[in-house]
């Protein structure tokens, strides 16, 4: 087991390859990060500045408190998005999870496989006990995908997001190490 996120793995599945994200991935990620619907689904109000993004991604490889991986579609070889383990709480063996995929890549199982790969790494290599996320009420597709990967709803953050003048609830979901082990065993 590792003690932090200093190890930046490359994880390979049938559909996706997860590898450390770099500044060179910005051109592929920029359209996704500037997409208005992606912004809504992720609750991102921020304008995306390419230079700031390049500086941000240039530092991801040296972070020991988070893991940022590019999701590469193996069928095309193109970067289809990113998956992140963040908000690491070392004392409680817990961290947050987020994933973002380009709109044209949805519905092909890339997100499900990327999520399972990174969860496997989180529980089996890093030794985490809990991985959590928040999903907004207007994103039921993502919630179903998270449930499919093993996340369970834990509670609702009422009115957590203010979007276009309306308050939107966020559901907190998590998967625990024993649940992950049972799921992994069932998948064989």
E strands along 57-178, which residues?
67-73, 78-89, 94-101, 130-136, 152-163, 166-176
| Residue at 124 is within a domain | yes
| Residue at 35 is within a domain | yes
Q: What is the pTM of this model?
A: 0.93
Which residues, in sequence order, are CB contacts of 2 under 8 Å at separation 6+?
125, 126, 127
pLDDT over threshold 70, residue 92: yes
| Residue at 28 is within a domain | yes
| Residue at 183 is within a domain | no
Domain containing 87 equals 11-129
Of all residues in the chain, what percent are helix, strand and coil, respectively (each to 5)?
Answer: 40, 35, 25
Question: How many independent structural domains does the chain possess?
Answer: 1
* pLDDT given for residue 184 in this prediction: 81
The pLDDT of 175-187, averaged and rounded, is 89
| Residue at 50 is within a domain | yes
Residue 35: CATH number of its domain: 3.40.630.30
Taking CA 166 as the corner, what is the angle to CA 162 and CA 172, rounded to the nearest 5 degrees? 55
| Residue at 105 is within a domain | yes
E strands along 26-147, which residues?
67-73, 78-89, 94-101, 130-136
- Tokens for 14? 């049938």
| Residue at 23 is within a domain | yes
Q: Per residue in 1-43, pLDDT tens?
A: 666 898 999 999 999 999 999 999 999 999 888 888 888 888 8
* 105: confidence class by pLDDT, cuts 50, 70, 90: confident
The pLDDT of 92-117, averaged and rounded, is 91
């Amino acid at each position: 087991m590792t003690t932090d996120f200093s190890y930046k793995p490359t994880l390979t599945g049938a559909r996706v390859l997860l590898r450390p994200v770099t500044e060179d991935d910005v051109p592929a990620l920029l359209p996704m990060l500037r997409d208005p619907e992606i912004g809504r689904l992720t609750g991102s109000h921020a304008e995306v500045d390419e230079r700031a993004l390049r500086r941000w991604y240039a530092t991801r490889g040296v972070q020991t408190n988070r893991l940022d991986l590019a999701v590469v579609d193996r069928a095309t070889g193109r970067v289809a998005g990113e998956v992140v383990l963040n908000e690491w709480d070392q004392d409680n063996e817990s961290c947050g999870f987020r994933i973002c995929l380009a709109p044209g890549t949805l519905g092909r199982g890339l997100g499900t496989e990327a999520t399972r790969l990174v969860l496997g790494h989180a529980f089996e290599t890093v030794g985490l006990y809990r991985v959590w996320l928040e999903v907004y009420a207007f994103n039921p597709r993502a919630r179903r995908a998270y449930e499919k990967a093993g996340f369970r709803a834990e509670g609702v953050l009422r009115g957590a997001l203010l979007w276009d003048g309306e308050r939107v609830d966020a559901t907190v979901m998590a998967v625990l190490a024993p649940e992950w082990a049972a799921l992994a065993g069932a998948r064989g």
